[in-house]
Amino acid sequence: MNTKLYLEPDEIYLFNCGELYHSYLKMGAHIIECNSLHGTNFVVWVPEALNVCLVGEFNNWSSTDSSMTEIGTSGVWSIFIPKVLQGQLYKYEIHTKSGKVFLKSDPFAFYSEFRPATASIVWQLEGFSWQDQVWMKQRGVNVQEMPHLIYEVHLGSWRRKEDGTYYNWRTLAVELLHYVLSMGYTHIELMPIMEHPFDGSWGYQLTGFYSCTSRFGNPQDFMYFVNQCHLEGVGVILDWVPGHFCKDAHGLGQFNGSSVYENDENEQWGTYNFNFEKTEVWSFLISNAMFWLDKFHVDGLRVDGVSSMLYPDYEKPKHSWKLNINGGRENLRAVAFMKRLNEAVLQNFPDVLMIAEESTEWPLVTCPTDENGLGYNFKWNMGWMNDTLRYMGLDFPLRKDNHQLLTFSMTYAFSENYILPLSHDEVVHGKRSLIGRMPGEYSQKFSGLRSLYGYWMCHPGKKLLFMGGEFAQFIEWNEEAELDWFLLEYEMHEKLQNYVRDLNKLYCQERALWENEQDWAGFEWIDVHNHQQCILIFCRKALKKDNFLIILINFLPNSYLNFRLGVPRKGFYQEIFNSDLSIYGGNNHINSSLVGAEKVAWHGQKFSITINVAPLAIVILKPILNT
């Protein structure tokens, strides 16, 4: 065994200072050449340990003659084994100064055993032949002015084999990708695919931050999946969890017998919170973000639980947190960490998405750090989601007195770069499915869901929909079984899926719905006050002034003939979309002919038109040029 120094002194210094942002290139297990010998080098950070030994299949799990060497007093331990150990199982045996001994998985392992087994696996990431150069070159061009229509997926329950086992990445690269393409989505967002021991955590309680979960294949299989998505023009976003980690004995918790990575306990989730006071934790987490972007070519990270990192008191009783040194509620070190994270990521990968799941009123989340922002480039609009779903769940007679739930979001719509999420969190834990929230009888529920999706699609902000919502799964999401695909054998569910497909494609085709939504230049209210009829009318505008859409949404089960609405210019208007088409499950109360604008002032506009308005329906009109 050889203990030749693999990390350079400046790398160790940067790791300890919290500034080694590609630490995965040296930490963990790497097959290298050392003194003309091909072998495997192991590096792990275990501060304050008495001794650290490498154990695994290759030495019969014996710590005899497998002691690692600490590099100075850095807490970084290393050992070189003159054997190529690709595919071999291993752990670290950690001896504490108090005489206790722990077996721990490698925090930097690239691959791990399939649960419930817990060993790390030596695995090279090299050797995959990427073919996505065209995608990688163009993916981030004018990211704010491009359509983002995201399909959120939990891989273990999207579809399963007949025997109930999981699809692997290579099958998903056919089945899931084909489905996403047929539905017109631009991105897939995967709920966490990092290694986790408990399926019921949905991947949000991790043990292997650098391990692509063994549930769906090996790391190269995931590379294949991403590569195929990119070849078909579909981006891949990963959910990423830098706030906390699970307490399982083989994981990061109590890594040297006491707190190493953690600060305190996350009482809501029964996990440990990361300690952002420790600079090595910065190196670990920022490197982890870089790792998925670098080695797997993913197109963005949705950062989970940002609010709980920003505020020590977030959903906690008062006795369990302390004010910061300025007497405020903010976690100052977590704030500094997030700013540095986004600076480092976007400096190295300026074309990726860094999305904050942030549910409070923290200002400037998507502003650059040099403008006192957190540096993300998108934020989930949780306020819009909560208000909208509350409104849509109201019985029809109650809606007129709650009109502000639909309109309030426009008071802050341009304060951040928003994504409008209809996510997995809204269809679990007794909240009911989206269609299950809709009032009325059977057909009205589908009409109401179509109106919700129309409002969502036309409101400023990028879009995210959780799987199953596109065909109106009635039951809440269950991670233990695949979606209720059999529902597509029923007419209304199949028609709803067709509606979502056509709405998706309309969104991507119409630049007015995504090109110009950073300020009021791309949006104008035509009638925001019609709470009695529960009707919203507004205009969405592309960058070219003649490219705009008129959107009317009726949130009551009442129909109107010859309904007058104001329009900004003369000429003819064509109905390009109507949710009441019979092919979508409606009654064909549509406007099939061109509608000519009259010089009758209405809704503050110089011109107006009259149309027929179906119950619980959205109508989208577009001006016809050269008429």
Catalytic residues: 304, 357
CA–CA gap between residue 434 and residue 516 (Å, rounded): 29
CA–CA gap between residue 233 and residue 400 (Å, rounded): 43
Helix, strand, coil distribution of the chain in percent, nearest 5:
30, 25, 45
Q: Where are the beta strands (DSSP E) in 453-544?
A: 462-466, 523-527, 535-541
CA–CA gap between residue 98 and residue 49 (Å, rounded): 9
Q: At what angle do helices 491-509 and 442-458 cross, to 10 degrees?
A: 10
Residue 421 Cα to chain centre, angstroms: 9
CA–CA gap between residue 228 and residue 177 (Å, rounded): 8
DSSP assigned state of 296: S
CA–CA gap between residue 316 and residue 332 (Å, rounded): 18
CB 282 within 8 A of CB 340: yes
Q: Where are the beta strands (DSSP E) in 324-369?
A: 353-356
End-to-end CA, the chain: 83
* Tokens read off for 540: 């969405």
* Tokens read off for 517: 């939504």
By C-alpha distance, which of 223, 216, 195, 230 is closest to 294? 223
CA–CA gap between residue 266 and residue 315 (Å, rounded): 10
Cα-flanking dihedrals φ and ψ of residue 91, to 5°?
A: -150, 175
CB 274 within 8 A of CB 261: yes
CA–CA gap between residue 147 and residue 174 (Å, rounded): 23
Place of tokens 């989730």: 269
* Residues ≥6 apart with Cβ < 8 Å to 236: 187, 188, 190, 225, 226, 229, 230, 297, 298, 299
By C-alpha distance, which of 316, 118, 131, 291 is closest to 214? 118
CB 253 within 8 A of CB 263: no
CA 235 to each of CA 215, 300, 352, 438, 502: distance values in angstroms, whole numbers, following the listed order:
22, 8, 10, 32, 20
By C-alpha distance, which of 454, 446, 485 is closest to 583? 446
* Tokens read off for 627: 């008429």
CA–CA gap between residue 201 and residue 39 (Å, rounded): 37
CB 80 within 8 A of CB 257: no
**b/e burial code for range 581-603 (CB count within 10 A of at least 16 → b):** beebbbeebbbeeebebeeeebb
**DSSP H helical ranges for 90-209:** 133-138, 155-158, 169-183
* Tokens read off for 505: 């494609």
Query: For residue 272, what are the β-bridge partners?
Result: 245, 265
Query: For residue 466, what are the β-bridge partners?
Result: 152
